[in-house]
Structure 1
Amino acid sequence: MEPSKFSFQNVTDQVMAFATLYGFKILLAIVILIVGLWLVNQLVKMLSTVMNKRQVDRDVQPFLLSLVGAILKVLVLLSVASTLGVETTSFVAIIGAAGLAVGLALQGSLANFAGGVLILTFKPFRVGDLISAQGFTGNVEAIHIFNTILVTLDNRTIILPNGSLSTSPITNISGKGTIRVDMVFAAGNTNDVDEVKASIRHVVDACPYALKNRDHDVLVTKLTELAFHFDVRVWTNSATYWETYYFVHEGIARQFAKDGVKGPEPTVTVMGDFSSVGRVN
């Protein structure tokens, strides 16, 4: 019985010594873990509220929130490990090396990710805007974290990577709410200029999409041997850009026919030696 008592006493002493030496650290680590995770949840909720106020794309919010939450939780776990006396330098080195390897392997995707964050933050365009970028013109259907979806006027879907999109020129055609539709028309130089301008002006004034509070221009811009060229500039809402464009073109074609406005008449130049034509040998 004596050895048993000795063994039990020995275990008890070791437990007490361990508790004395590490008890406070363990308790502090538990407190850091609980409080840290609670703070992470609160910060993620605050970030979600800020994103909603800034109208960040709802498809992107879960990804960003989970990413931020994961990073903060890793920091909390590292703090807990450091409190317990675990050497964290090796863990940080491993995480850094892994991050570098992943970054090199996915540098294109990371560039697109960064571009998506910039677009969603600074909003050079929004969903529904008519833009011209990367040689394409269309309405923005969706802004994802890695790419932006455009639908062109002929209903083609164009997927643009956010990396190049965020660093290249973008023309936001509908950004200001109103836009000027610039068109060019030609009429034969045998017509009276004032009569042609009156015909064009009649169509512009009748256009239901033309803004009534803006001045629209009908200007002679070029004279050639065959024609007068007219710049026609009509202000309209961004959403009715193409309706205005097609209405004016069709209206002017009909009005020119009604008013007898003639188009440029082509000429034919015949070259050659006709000295022997009609000669009888």
Structure 2
Amino acid sequence: MTDFLEIYKPLLIYVAIVIATVVVLYFITRFIYQWLLKKEEAKFPGEKSTSLKLLKTVLNTLWLVLGIIALSFIFVEEESYGELKADFKLALYLGFLAVITIVTAATTNLWFKRSIREKIKQNQDPTSLKFLRYVAVFSICFIGILFGLLAFPSLKGVAQTALGGAGVIAIIAGVASQEALSNLIGGIFIISFKPFKINDIIQITDTLVGTVTDITLRHTIIRSFENKMIVIPNSVINKERLINYNLGELKNCKFVEMGISYDSDVALAKKIMQEECEKHPLILDNRSELDKKDGKPIVKTALTIINDSTMTIRAWAWSKSFVDSFELQCDVNETIKARFDTNGIDLAYPTRTIIIEKDTE
């Protein structure tokens, strides 16, 4: 046993130093992780990021890989030392490159988040900052990957071409699909021409209405009034004809329509609809000064359609916003129906008269 220790004493000391170094680095990484958590909370209060956990995992993996490579020196011949040194340098380079990329991307992302929050507090439009946040983080990660490719001789030419400038577009065009590119360009068009922005209420179809919550490089996210998150690719939403209720004037005109039977009193029905709309607290007086001078009513009513079994009466009810107009319509539908029942005005329903002819001799 003594002879064994005397022979292998240098190797055992080397192994102990390597293991101790890995353990020390592990605890240093843990200490730095806890310190960075406190710093992040102090500098970016309320912002939680998973990047620190990823950074901790990368560093611990790096120390483990470097330790394994360092221990491999005792198991190989001296002729292979050059290859192990090259592997050690490669792992060290890739590890620190990953750390720098993660730290830069995370810091940039948190800075944008804080700026967006400040914009929202000041009632300013944060759409451009939200989109630029995705662009900045994507660019940092993309450049980090390219510098990682430079470490591999077989991929060095591809990375150098991409870093040259024109190669970036060529690589994206070659790797990405046409649909992905159209979504990216669609997102740029949305940010540039602003057909809508964050927190706008838009209507894409008769049934799809909601609030824009986010615009990314690929898609736009809309929260419907049923609290469903709807993800629409930018290339699709750019082709749709949409209604933006926050673009320009916010006031909105809602058509309140009732179909009454032929036996009902049209004049009375118009009067009831006008009175119920005008006394609603959300009604907006949209008359001009000339209209007021001429004595025109706040809510206009008219017989618009005569169908096979109904007569449609419409009331033009104005409100301050789309949300108010929807609430107004729901309320007056109920009150108008109640007054119609009281005053003997029947809501129409389809009727058919069937005549049966009986043959007689």
2:347 paired residue among 238, 255, 263: 263
Q: Is the 8 A contact 1:147 1:161 kept in 2?
A: yes
- 2 CA distance for matches of 1:273 and 1:259? 39
Partner of 1:234: 317
- The alignment of Structure 1 onto Structure 2 pairs a total of residues equal to 218
- 2 CA distance for matches of 1:58 and 1:242? 32
Q: How does 1:1-281 map to 2 (within 5 A)?
A: 55-66=126-137, 91-92=160-161, 96-97=166-167, 99-106=169-176, 107-133=178-204, 136-175=208-247, 176-214=249-287, 215-224=298-307, 226-238=309-321, 239-264=323-348, 266-275=350-359
Q: Is the 8 A contact 1:128 1:141 kept in 2?
A: yes
Aligned to 1:185, the other structure's residue is in SS state: strand
- 2 CA distance for matches of 1:112 and 1:183? 39
In structure 2, do the counterparts of structure 1 residues 211 and 126 end up closer, same or farther at CA, with 3 Å as the change threshold? same
The residue identity in structure 2 corresponding to 1:203 is E
Greater Cα radius of gyration, structure 1 or 2: 1
Q: In the TM superposition, what is the alpha-carbon distance from 1:161 to its structure 2 partner? A: 0.8
In structure 2, do the counterparts of structure 1 residues 237 and 191 end up closer, same or farther at CA, with 3 Å as the change threshold? same
Q: Is the 8 A contact 1:112 1:146 kept in 2?
A: yes
In structure 2, do the counterparts of structure 1 residues 70 and 189 end up closer, same or farther at CA, with 3 Å as the change threshold? same
Partner of 1:14: none
Instruction: From the two aligned structures, give the one with the greater strand fraction.
Output: 1
Q: In the TM superposition, what is the alpha-carbon distance from 1:194 to its structure 2 partner? A: 1.2
Aligned to 1:208, the other structure's residue is in SS state: coil
- 1 CA distance for matches of 2:252 and 2:317? 8
- 1 CA distance for matches of 2:268 and 2:180? 59
- 2 CA distance for matches of 1:192 and 1:223? 14
Aligned to 2:127, the other structure's residue is in SS state: coil
Aligned CA RMSD, in angstroms, stands at 3.7
Q: Is the 8 A contact 1:189 1:225 kept in 2?
A: no
Considering Cα pairs closer than 8 Å and 6+ residues apart, tell me whether 1 or 2 has the greater RCO: 1
Aligned to 1:63, the other structure's residue is in SS state: helix
Q: Is the 8 A contact 1:211 1:236 kept in 2?
A: yes
The residue identity in structure 2 corresponding to 1:169 is R
Q: Is the 8 A contact 2:258 2:347 kept in 1?
A: no
Q: Is the 8 A contact 2:264 2:344 kept in 1?
A: no
In structure 2, do the counterparts of structure 1 residues 224 and 64 end up closer, same or farther at CA, with 3 Å as the change threshold? closer
Unmatched segments (≥5 aa) in structure 2:
1-107, 148-156, 288-297
- 1 CA distance for matches of 2:199 and 2:162? 45
In structure 2, do the counterparts of structure 1 residues 117 and 94 end up closer, same or farther at CA, with 3 Å as the change threshold? closer
In structure 2, do the counterparts of structure 1 residues 174 and 62 end up closer, same or farther at CA, with 3 Å as the change threshold? closer
Map Cα deviations across residues 1-44 of structure 1 (whole Å, 9 max, x no partner). Answer: xxxxxxxxxxxxxxxxxxxxxxxxxxxxxxxxxxxxxxxxxxx9
- 2 CA distance for matches of 1:226 and 1:108? 50
Map Cα deviations across residues 115-155 of structure 1 (whole Å, 9 max, x no partner). Answer: 22222233211222221226632222222232111122333
Q: In the TM superposition, what is the alpha-carbon distance from 1:243 to its structure 2 partner? A: 0.5
